[in-house]
Amino acid sequence: MVLAAVALSVAAQQGIVTLDSCRAMALRGNKELLKAEAEIEKAGYQRKQAHAAYLPGIDLEAMYLYNSRKLSLVDKDQLLPVKNFNPATGAYDFALVTDPTTGMPVQVGGQYVPSQVALLPKSALTYNVHNVFAGALTVTQPIYMGGKIKAMNDITGYAEQLAVALRDNKARDVVYAVDAAYWQVVSLRAKHELASGYVDLLRHLQRDVQAMVTEGVATRSAQLNVDVKLNEAEVDLTRVENGLVLSRMALAQLCGLPVNTAMTLADENKNSWNVTPRPTTIDMERVYASRSDVRALTLATDIYDGQARVARSEMLPSLAAVAAYHVTNPNSYDGFKNRFAGMFSLGVTLKVPIWHWGGPQNKYKAAKTEARIKRLELDEAKEKIELQVTQARYRYDESLKTLRATTANLEKADENLRVANLAFKEGMSTADDVMTAQTAWLKANSEHIDAEIDVQLCDVYLSKVMGE
């Protein structure tokens, strides 16, 4: 980015902008690419979130509860019978009221009557629970989750790579759009020079015909024909000038610059443009490896495979270790006291799915089907890409053949115009013959410019479909 910024600064100072500079400016300021960068950032956070599932989770919980009433374990004072030691039996027996005459325990209403009781007052079993505080610090460490954690980490990793692939695909689209706009400006700039030269030829012919009319060797009709042709050429020149201005605006907008930015392109003053020769054969496996959309579909397939593993994990046991420290106020660890006290606890949790009426199984099968669909889409995309690359290669080869043909036609048109001008000066041809030769020369030059620009665009498109 630093080198790109330096290059752009130098280009701005010189007033000349190269194709690479336009690409760099467009890539730097394109809103779609900025959104794609944000998607990559989001995917990175999601990957880190999934990785955190490997580590123990630590949670702190706190609670406060206000109760309107106290808590009492009995509804009134309780009288509890007591036991006395019996030396004869060596055991404790209840102390009961006995009949003095018989010495047998007395029963009232079918119940024995204790001679001694222990008083358990209600107040002793009434507790102040108006304000209850509780807290717990819990540590949970997953041990085995049926492969779900591993699958989620794989999915988020693939998702981050997918975001990068989509960003790269958008970048290629931006570059292709910039290249097309760039060469459009170059083409119109060349046609502007051609149209200006054609107007100059007609003006020179107009002066010659006017002189011949004055001398009486040419008719007024010939002069009018030249005037009409000149007016048409000037109108065409105006159209080209307007188109050139609009094309420069479109290029500036793609580069993220104000539309009225004055830019001089490095290639617009050249007479020809070089093209890197292409190999005769194309390695499709290399193309597949270079294409970001193929990479995106491959990653999408991997993501759906991961989702299938997540669905399968719901049918498998899950095991986790738990450690916690609980604290309460009031507490009953050593009698009932209104103060904080706590304890540690350790354990494991095991969950084994047994029967859910086929729900998890069908979810797993649906996820596997989605993965199979993505594989079919990937295979279909590769077939279409192969056709796309083949068509682009044919277009490229055809553009080279067209360029060679227009080059030969241009040489003939130049010679034809030279001969027509010479014959006109010698009085052996008319102004109409010269204008016909000029029109043929204009057409040949225009077709040659179109052919050269088409070679550039076909080369760029071939590079795009090959993932270069």
Contacts of 433 (CB under 8 A, 6+ apart): 420, 423, 424
Say whether the peptide bond before residue 142 is cis (omega within 30 degrees of 0). Answer: no
Domain C-terminal end among 133, 163, 183:
133
Give the domain CATH number at 13.
1.20.1600.10
What is the pLDDT at residue 239? 93
Residues 219 and 178 in one domain: yes
Domain C-terminal end among 90, 112, 133:
133
What is the pLDDT at residue 434? 85
Residues 122 and 10 in one domain: no
Residues 369 and 434 in one domain: yes
Residues 150 and 279 in one domain: yes
Residues 190 and 299 in one domain: yes
User: Which pTM was predicted?
Assistant: 0.77
Residues 417 and 341 in one domain: no
What is the pLDDT at residue 15? 66
Contact 168, 40 (CB under 8 A): no
Domain C-terminal end among 112, 133, 154:
133
Q: What single string gives the DSSP state of each residue in 314-363?
A: TTS-EEEEEEEEEEEESB-BTBSBSS-EEEEEEEEEEE-----TTHHHHH
Residues 64 and 199 in one domain: no
Q: What single string gives the DSSP state of each residue in 147-183?
A: THHHHHHHHHHHHHHHHHHHHHHHHHHHHHHHHHHHH
Residues 257 and 403 in one domain: yes
Query: What is the tally of structural domains in the chain?
Result: 3
Domain interval for residue 95: 71-133
Burial class (CB in 10 A: 0-12, 13-18, 19+), 226: buried
3-state secondary structure of 133: strand
Beta strands at 264-265 and 16-17: parallel, antiparallel or unpaired: parallel
Residues 186 and 62 in one domain: no
What is the pLDDT at residue 383? 93
Q: What is the DSSP letter of 53?
A: G
Residues 342 and 393 in one domain: no
Residues 334 and 307 in one domain: no
Can you tell me the distance from the alpha carbon of 295 to that of 301, in angstroms, rounded to the nearest whole number? 10
Contacts of 170 (CB under 8 A, 6+ apart): 30, 32, 33, 36
pLDDT tens digit sequence for 327-366: 999 888 888 888 999 999 999 999 999 988 988 899 899 9
Structure tokens belonging to residue 319: 């095991």
Which residue stretches of the chain have pLDDT < 50? Answer: 1-14
Can you tell me the distance from the alpha carbon of 198 to that of 205, in angstroms, rounded to the nearest whole number? 11
Q: Count CB neighbours of 112 within 10 A.
A: 14
Residues 405 and 419 in one domain: yes
